[in-house]
Chains A and B, each alone.
Chain A
Amino acid sequence: MGIAFKKRVAAPQLPSRSAYGDNRTGTHLPPRAGSLNGVIVPEQPGKNAIEVRGVRKVFGTGENQVAALDTVSVSIRENEFFTLLGPSGCGKTTLLRLIAGFDFPSAGEILLHGQDIAPLPPFKRPVNTVFQNYALFPHMTVAQNIGFGLEMLGKPKGEIEARVAQMLKLVKMEALKARRTSQISGGQQQRVALARALAPQPKVLLLDEPLSALDYKLRKEMQIELKRLQHETGITFIFVTHDQEEALTMSDRIAVMSAGKILQVGTPRDIYDRPAERFVADFIGETNFLAGTVMSKKPGMATVKFASNATIAAGYPEGFDPTGEVTLVVRPEHADLVPDPAKGTIAGTLSNIVYFGTDTHYHVRLDGGENFIVRHQNSRSSPATYETGAKVGIQFEEDAARVLKD
């Protein structure tokens, strides 16, 4: 099925990403009136699908001014599955709305293939959105919903029908095309919303926490489905979520946001293994924080001494110069328990053992008074041999510890 679609989009009568390229004749906005009905046709596609340059968004006036986005810059590449990740209120949805055109930046530029789209109203941007609550038109059928964008673009009827049929097939909703959107399940509504946003073949698809209303199992299914759709259509996806697991499993790259700023952009592995800031380490996955003092350092590596006088080599992010008292972060799975306290890098007393099925968490109260968690994967051959109250040592894997700015 997936392959069939690929062939179809490659076929000349229903071009996919090449469509805008073919129509492009080097014109700038506003475009010639024509098949695209006033929607801009981007200039020469560059490497970046979206470029956000120094964008600020301020809500309110005077005393009540609040900066939802505080001078954000980020580049999103073509064909990328890009995720904006952060807690609620971090500005990720604001950024998405600016790209969609529902809000306008207070300062800065938003470029789509090198062209500033910030002054364009949403109906002139080749960008479509999948809304958090889907926002399906309740007075239309599934097929009418999917065809709406094409209809507004003034496409011929035959083409709309063909594209709708193709989209129905893509999201496996052919059987329900004549249903009202109120008569289908949440998961099905999700598929229709996707098909509706993909039907006009946008350059960029924006997804605003589209999976948050689904239950756990359906969410897992849709995560795979979304990856498949992105792969098959080759459209740039910008995905907004507060769910770090979702972000890690689906994204090509992630931008972690907090308080209106982008803290780090990188691949899931970058973000997880080499967090740039304490907030990133804390927000994504579980992390242990340890206090220490920098003794010496060479590029990218510092020697840090703990209160127990033990020392450890710890990496640190580029552009950061750790000195004096610092915080070290260590992922729970990058440390190991040893029965002999003297053999560990640090030592403490086992205060709690929590069983999670796939793994076990050992809570250790360090001699310095801090708490430390060690995660141990369970296997039948290695039954737990520790007991609460025992003195234990903790060993770190190589490169496990990192110094981060607070």
Chain B
Amino acid sequence: MAEPRSIDIKEQPGFRSIAIICLLVLYVPVLILMIFSLNSGSLVTHWEGVTLGWYGSALRNEEFHNAARNTLIISISATIISTVCATLAAIGMTRVKPWRGLAAAFMVINLPLMVPEIITAVATLSFFALIAGTFGLNFGIGNLILAHTVFCIPFAYMPIRARLEDMDLTLEYAAADLYATPWNAFRRITLPLLVPGIMSGAALAFIVSFDDFTITQLVAGPGQTTLPLYIWNQIRRPMTPEINAISTILLLVSILFVSVSFLIARRRAK
């Protein structure tokens, strides 16, 4: 006599296999790419042995240095500007009485998320070409910083706003009740509680700027090569595992920042 089998009511047949397949599909290609960065052979597809030499040659590479420097200048500047703007905007759009135009302001902030990147790219290119042609204005690498700031703002804005909305408003009332002026209440209560949201937003802004290819490729002027552009230039030549090494570095930076942002968000949930 078989014991009556207890069923887990949540299970659906086959779903576990599909989930595992999805995970493998997402990770196997990237892992292979990372593994081949350790290949001692000079082909990106034939495994010969283990070496860290390609990382060494990448790190000694002058072009790589330039690309890395440009990338860091652009993404750190864009992160700082966009996070400051996003924090101010999040406060200005949650800690106010609803005003006419609030919905429109919210749409403007989120616009860069709704427009396909290629359109933003050609539009930004046209814009900078126009002001260069008409006014002779060219901010150099500032063009890229500004272009990146635009699409970083909504990414930084989202977690900050979420945090502000989650925050118990009575805490701010309590501070006022205990003689804190509006500025003191902000400095001592709102801001400290907002820090995780700001950090999470800054991490996301940094990733999207650091990884951006499409907009950078179209807007970048000569000598403004970033790491993704550098990789793109390498693809069109005979490839060595050095490109795997550089790609791996990029991936590790993304993973680091995603994890940081994720852990901050999870700690908030607790």
A residues within 8 Å of B by Cβ? Answer: 37, 39, 100-102, 121-124, 127-129, 131, 133, 135-139, 148-149, 152-153, 196-197, 200
Given A133-B168, A137-B189, A138-B193: A123 in contact with B176 (beta carbons within 8 A)? yes
- Taken together as a complex, chains A and B put the C-alpha atoms of A139 and B196 apart, in Å, by 12
Apart from A39-B179, A137-B174: 16 A-B pairs, beta carbons within 8 A: A100-B173, A101-B177, A102-B177, A123-B178, A128-B177, A129-B173, A129-B174, A131-B173, A135-B170, A135-B173, A135-B174, A137-B189, A139-B193, A197-B177, A197-B178, A200-B178
Q: Are B179 and A135 in contact (CB under 8 A)?
A: no
- Taken together as a complex, chains A and B put the C-alpha atoms of A152 and B180 apart, in Å, by 5
- Taken together as a complex, chains A and B put the C-alpha atoms of A200 and B184 apart, in Å, by 17
Q: Which residues of A contact B180 (CB under 8 A)?
A: 123, 148, 152
B141 at the interface (CB under 8 A from A): no
- Chain B 164-201 interface residues, beta-carbon cutoff 8 Å to A: 168, 170-171, 173-182, 184-185, 188-189, 192-193
- Min CB distance, A161 to chain B, in Å? 17
Among A124, A131, A152, find the residue whose CB has the most chain B CB atoms closer than 10 A.
A152
Given A133-B168, A137-B189: A152 in contact with B173 (beta carbons within 8 A)? no
Q: Which residues of B contact A133 (CB under 8 A)?
A: 168, 170
Given A135-B168, A137-B189, A139-B193: A152 in contact with B178 (beta carbons within 8 A)? yes
- Min CB distance, A32 to chain B, in Å? 16
Q: Which residues of B contact A137 (CB under 8 A)?
A: 171, 174-175, 189
Contact of A135 among B171, B188, B192, B193 (CB under 8 A): B171
Given A133-B168, A139-B192: A123 in contact with B181 (beta carbons within 8 A)? yes
- Min CB distance, B178 to chain A, in Å? 4
Give 7 CB contacts A-B under 8 Å.
A121-B176, A123-B181, A137-B171, A148-B175, A149-B178, A152-B180, A200-B178
- Taken together as a complex, chains A and B put the C-alpha atoms of A356 and B30 apart, in Å, by 71
- Taken together as a complex, chains A and B put the C-alpha atoms of A152 and B189 apart, in Å, by 12
- Taken together as a complex, chains A and B put the C-alpha atoms of A135 and B192 apart, in Å, by 15
B residues within 8 Å of A by Cβ? Answer: 168, 170-171, 173-182, 184-185, 188-189, 192-193
- Taken together as a complex, chains A and B put the C-alpha atoms of A131 and B177 apart, in Å, by 10
Contact of B178 among A102, A121, A138, A196 (CB under 8 A): A196
Dominant SS among interface residues on chain B? helix
The chain B residue sitting closest to A37, CB to CB, is: B179
The chain A residue sitting closest to B193, CB to CB, is: A139
Contact of A122 among B168, B177, B184, B192 (CB under 8 A): B177
- Taken together as a complex, chains A and B put the C-alpha atoms of A149 and B189 apart, in Å, by 13
Q: Are B184 and A152 in contact (CB under 8 A)?
A: yes
Q: Are B178 and A128 in contact (CB under 8 A)?
A: yes
The chain A residue sitting closest to B195, CB to CB, is: A139
The chain A residue sitting closest to B270, CB to CB, is: A182
- Min CB distance, B199 to chain A, in Å? 14
The chain B residue sitting closest to A132, CB to CB, is: B170
Q: Which residues of A contact B181 (CB under 8 A)?
A: 123, 152
- Taken together as a complex, chains A and B put the C-alpha atoms of A124 and B180 apart, in Å, by 9
- Min CB distance, B136 to chain A, in Å? 51
Q: Which residues of A contact B184 (CB under 8 A)?
A: 152
- Min CB distance, A350 to chain B, in Å? 49
- Taken together as a complex, chains A and B put the C-alpha atoms of A100 and B179 apart, in Å, by 11
- Taken together as a complex, chains A and B put the C-alpha atoms of A48 and B38 apart, in Å, by 83
Contact of B179 among A136, A138, A149 (CB under 8 A): A149
Q: Which residues of B contact A129 (CB under 8 A)?
A: 173-174, 177
Q: Are A152 and B179 in contact (CB under 8 A)?
A: yes
- Taken together as a complex, chains A and B put the C-alpha atoms of A199 and B174 apart, in Å, by 14
Q: Are B189 and A101 in contact (CB under 8 A)?
A: no
Q: Are B192 and A123 in contact (CB under 8 A)?
A: no
The chain B residue sitting closest to A121, CB to CB, is: B176
- Min CB distance, A246 to chain B, in Å? 21
Q: Which residues of A contact B189 (CB under 8 A)?
A: 137
Q: Which residues of B contact A197 (CB under 8 A)?
A: 177-178
The chain B residue sitting closest to A153, CB to CB, is: B179
Q: Are A101 and B176 in contact (CB under 8 A)?
A: yes
Among B173, B174, B178, B185, find the residue whose CB has the most chain A CB atoms closer than 10 A.
B178
Q: Which residues of A contact B173 (CB under 8 A)?
A: 100, 102, 122, 129, 131, 135
The chain B residue sitting closest to A208, CB to CB, is: B170
Given A133-B170, A135-B171, A152-B184: A123 in contact with B193 (beta carbons within 8 A)? no
Contact of B177 among A100, A136, A139 (CB under 8 A): A100
- Taken together as a complex, chains A and B put the C-alpha atoms of A100 and B172 apart, in Å, by 13
Q: Which residues of A contact B170 (CB under 8 A)?
A: 131, 133, 135
Q: Are B178 and A148 in contact (CB under 8 A)?
A: yes
The chain A residue sitting closest to B174, CB to CB, is: A135
